[in-house]
Amino acid sequence: MNTLYDFMTHVKGVEYIIAVMFLAGYILYAELLKPKPFKTVVETGKEDLEYIKQTGYRNTLKTIGKIAAAPFIGLAYVVMLPFAFFITLGTMALNALFSLVGRSVSFGWRPTEAYLAGKKKRKEEKKQDEEK
């Protein structure tokens, strides 16, 4: 261990291992204090096996397959996140660019004001320019 980060990672790892071992030890200790240790564990296991036999092995295998595929699906999600970020960033940049280009290209013509305000003002401005 050369850095503080390495040391802290090592200490946290050992801490988590000790915590899990303590929990497992407590469960074993609590089971051993019962009059018939592990009776409920054996009964629950038998009930689970009966349920699997009744419903068939296909559903159980599907569930096990989903559990086995979960880490790979999560890894694919993590790998695709940067691509999704850059695609979103590019889309936002293109939308901003199109908005900017659209504002500079549009003429500012409005149908309601097309013939009501502009012609008289232009004629008056031309007359004033000619007089000067």
Q: Which pTM value belongs to this model?
A: 0.40
Task: Delimit the domains of the chain by residue range.
Answer: 1-55, 79-132
Query: Contact, 10 vs 1, CB < 8 A?
Result: yes
pLDDT tens-place values along the chain, 132 residues long: 689 999 999 999 999 999 999 999 999 999 999 999 989 889 999 999 999 999 888 988 999 999 999 999 999 999 999 999 999 999 999 999 988 887 766 666 666 666 655 556 666 777 777 776
Q: What is the pLDDT of residue 15?
A: 97
Sign of CA dihedral 50, 52, 53, 54: positive
**How long, in residues, is the chain?**
132
What's the pLDDT score for residue 78? 95
